Structure 1
């Protein structure tokens, strides 16, 4: 069986070494890059299943690299940063990252998040009779992994698509933040993690005419989110 390839992008060679050694011991094949430019070249020429991407790097930082990667690929991206303010996390996730970890971090937790992203990526069983879901002018094509609103294609990250698909498949059902995390990320929710809230916010910015008065993804205050029947 071919090994899963993880690309580690960080300008600190010691951090790359720590991550590479640990992930290799976990059974992964690891490629390395010291900036965003190198990372882009690697993913154009190599088969990569997941990227671990540092934010602060010379030549091309992680934010710009993430934006460039998202133009050509939906590879899961876990972003690393020494910054831990909410605005920094929101910025990282808004650019298309799937997860965000602050330095210093636990290698065991990093490995757990890598596994969670890979599980989510490989979870692709769909019911043929439900390949297309319509919510008014919002059309979700599961087979094509495509979303359109009033005929205009909307570019969503894999996690945004999964969140939207989950709620659209269970219209009227209210999903708590914890339940969305468990269903989409395929792991137990982490306490005080605002990742889901940020992804919902980004999703609304893309599919709603007025994100402050959403037509599709509704908030049930104190409970969670839903798409109405």
Structure 2
């Protein structure tokens, strides 16, 4: 049974999400602020975290960044602030999805299902091999990447994005294709989602940053 951590300082929001999540058969744990969420993640494992941005003590962005430092768990961020800047900042600190309040509980459940199915698919496809292109080595079992022998500190989304690009070495991938393969569904309201993630990924590839080519008006391709 998937275990979901719901983090929000508004009891009515926690109750609403919990009710729908329990109908889907999920095991629910709750926290009222970011600090409590960090503490619970240190002692428990979760399949998905649903976290509000604006909370007392420790905000959602800070909590997400802290949690990602020691645990690779998908985070869906909830926020009344729906500007592109807020969403892109969320992706930068490791957020996997961003839902703007007010939101549809059914849509939120659908997004959770996509994230869970994508995580399961990634685990099933992992093997004992290592994929190497130039000085980039991708460990598909350990979900780790090294660049010229040095470990690259990638988020889960950056890892999935790099793996997709490398597996399609030399092939142009559209933004829609990348969104569907990495996020599991079409664009959810952020036109620059892929562009921003590509920028972050390039910054972590050292001398191989230019291996990710921009194909104007279409998307991207990886080429060494």
Instruction: Tell me, yes or no, whether TM beats 0.5.
Output: yes
Q: Deviations over 1:34-72 (max 9, x none)?
A: 111111121222231100011110111111101110111
Equivalent of 1:55 in 53, 56, 71: 53
Question: Which residue pairs with 1:203 in the alignment?
Answer: 201
SS at match of 2:170: coil
Q: Deviations over 1:182-210 (max 9, x none)?
A: 11223344465432222222211222459
1:56-205 correspondence to structure 2 within 5 Å = 56-123=54-121, 124-126=123-125, 128=127, 131-190=129-188, 193-205=191-203
Question: Which residue pairs with 1:223 in the alignment?
Answer: 218
CA RMSD of aligned residues (A): 1.8
Is this contact kept in 2: 1:80–1:101, CA < 8 A? Answer: yes
Q: Distance in 1 between matches of 2:127 and 2:35?
A: 40
Structure 2: gaps (5+ residues): none
Q: 1:94 to 1:127 in 2, by over 3 A?
A: closer
Is this contact kept in 1: 2:202–2:210, CA < 8 A? Answer: no
Q: Distance in 1 between matches of 2:167 and 2:39?
A: 38
Question: Which residue pairs with 2:29 in the alignment?
Answer: 31
1:6-21 correspondence to structure 2 within 5 Å = 6-21=4-19
Give the structure-1-normalised TM-score.
0.91
Q: Distance in 2 between matches of 1:65 and 1:186?
A: 24
Is this contact kept in 1: 2:34–2:63, CA < 8 A? Answer: yes
Structure 1: gaps (5+ residues): none
Q: Distance in 2 between matches of 1:200 and 1:120?
A: 20
